[in-house]
Chain A
Amino acid sequence: MIAAGLVMVLTIAGAIIGVGARRIVHAIFGLGISLAGVALAFGLLRSPFVAAMEVLIYIGGITVAMVFAVMLSSGGRNEPGEGLLRRTLAAGAALLFLVSVGLVISGTEFGPMPEAVDEAWSVQQIGRDLLNRFNVVFELLSVVLLLAIVGAITIAGRGDESLDPAAADEGWA
């Protein structure tokens, strides 16, 4: 119970850092903390394999890829501009996401937590399920990733100063 609370605090604190940080690099590390919390939650729910994958793919892969993207585009030291339109759009998108996730969560029936790690329900089973039962979901997730990449390119490529080699050099100082 205490462990679950701590994991929750860690996850939410990481998310708050991720959203509220002024420097984009801090935001990425906040996201990393939040994802580590999610991995711990999977561990607490007795799915060590999913927990390991969460860390391996999200912290070791996605976060590092983000670091790369930031370093390549702007040097990571600039702070985002303010603007009413921008804030409204962001708030709207966040609200939409909150509502849709809330609907999904309220529509899900949660069973009791498993008592122990089931040896028979193992990695092989996860592999089989991913390629049979959840194949469509699996493929849809890759579309999400594609969208994320397109979005990243759009954000990074906006404004000519980030494409100017001289401006890019300043970011390294």
Chain B
Amino acid sequence: MPRTFLDIFGNPLLALGAGIGGVMTVLSLNTLFCIWFERKVSAWIQRRMGPMEVGFHGTLQTVADMIKLLGKQLITPRGVDKPLYHLAPLMVFAPVVAAASLLPFSKTVVLTNINIGLVLIFMFGGFAVIGIFMAGWGSNNKYALLGAMRSIAQNISYEIPLILSALPIVLLISAKGPMYEIEGEMIAINGMNLAHITAVQADTGVWFVLLQPVAMLIFFIAILAETNRAPFDIPEAESELVAGFHTEYSGMRFGLFFFAEYSNMLIGSMLATVLFFGGWDGPILPGPVWFFLKAYLLIFAMMWIRWTFPRLRFDQLMTFCWGALIPLSIVNLLVTAFLIKVL
């Protein structure tokens, strides 16, 4: 089983520092890359060039944008709910860092190895909802409040198919237990341990997308909704709500929301990679390379969807979740449980 940062560094504080440093570096680079990538993908889909001026093919454009954003004045509108308004960006961003530290990105080294990693990731996802509501409420702006309300309704609705479509994986792993042999080592296997989920897929050579294609589709759609990505970007629908819940935020406060959104995309894609695409499993190339390659392929798919499909209306969004995704994921879960018992 992989060694954690605590095993490597020995000292918990040192491990914590290294872990946070590592996660922040990866997330920052990811955001810089993703914004450029998104602009390039959208340009490619619309037959444009996209950013071309700063650096080779505009690669340094986001760096320039970031410096501009750092230099901008922070405007606090009159009548905001001060504590909520100021805490909201932190409440949205902090859980992202914590969730990112749970993902097993390589076979040999991980940041943390917790038996309930899957539950913890969903838990940190739940925190973000509160942060978004704090932003929307604290801003004292009706568009922000409407955006926040939409966001909460959407997030708590799509959390259900998200978790229900991850459960068949837990069942599949648990059915292999209680003891499982991985490379000559017997371990007490746990269905909610992300490292175990990857290890079983690598060991059997069967990625769970082959066994659970329906769950994978539901999971991916729910991730799109959870990260407020188009066609589910109703909370910030720019043509209806200015910018949704972060309308009143300027400068780097707005930057933190953006940072959190792109980091959430990465975490969602990585979680899908772990659950359905074998995580670090792959030939020749080292594990982490495969892991990030798969995650970015999924991010590309997210961007592709954003620039292809129009935004849903709010009632369509809700009907789709409660009328289609949730029943489908429940049926999928029942069929999986039945087949595991019979086979």
Contact (Cβ within 8 A) B142 A59 = no
A172→B156 CA distance, assembly (Å): 22
Q: Are B84 and A60 touching (Cβ within 8 A)?
A: no
Residues in A with CB closer than 8 Å to B84 are 25-26, 29
Q: Which residue of chain B has the shortest Cβ distance to A17 in the bound complex?
A: B83
Q: List 15 A-B contacts (CB under 8 A).
A: A48-B114, A49-B116, A52-B116, A52-B119, A55-B126, A55-B127, A60-B126, A61-B126, A64-B129, A64-B130, A68-B152, A119-B115, A124-B174, A172-B142, A172-B145
Q: Which residues of A contact B186 (CB under 8 A)?
A: none
Q: Chain A: how many interface residues by the 8 Å CB criterion? A: 28
> Which residues of chain A come closer than 8 Å to B188, judged between CB atoms?
119-120
Contacting residue for B116 out of A32, A48, A68, A173, CB 8 A: A48
Cα of A5 to Cα of B174 in the assembled complex, Å: 38
> Is B274 positioned at the interface, with any CB of A under 8 Å from its CB?
no
Contacts of A48 in B (CB 8 A): 114-116, 120
Smallest CB separation, A76 vs chain B (Å):
8
A146 within 8 A of B: no
- A119 vs B152: C-alpha distance when bound (angstroms): 35
Supplied contacts A53-B119, A55-B123, A55-B126, 8 more A-B pairs, CB within 8 Å: A48-B115, A48-B120, A56-B122, A60-B123, A61-B126, A64-B130, A67-B133, A122-B190
> Which residues 40-60 of A sit at the B interface, judged by CB distance below 8 A?
48-49, 52-53, 55-56, 59-60
Per the bound structure, the CA–CA distance linking A53 and B118 in Å amounts to 12
- CB-contacts of B64-120 with A (<8 A): 81, 83-84, 114-116, 119-120
The docked-state distance in angstroms from the alpha carbon of A117 to that of B188 is: 14
Which residues of chain B come closer than 8 Å to A120, judged between CB atoms? 188
Q: Tell yes or no: B272 within 8 A of A by CB.
A: no
Q: Is A123 in contact with chain B by the CB < 8 A criterion?
A: yes
Judge if A63 is at the interface, Cβ distance under 8 Å.
Answer: yes
Complex: how many Å from CA A23 to CA B84?
Answer: 12
Ranked 4 nearest A-B pairs via Cβ: A60-B126, A52-B119, A55-B123, A52-B123
State A173–B125 Cα separation when bound (angstroms): 29
Residues 134-169 of chain B: 1 if any A CB is under 8 Å from the residue's CB, otherwise 0? 100100001001000100110010010000000000
Shortest Cβ distance from A167 into chain B, in angstroms?
16
Q: Given A29-B84, A52-B123, does the pair A122, B115 have CB atoms closer than 8 Å? A: yes
Residues on the B chain within 8 Å of A124, using CB: 174
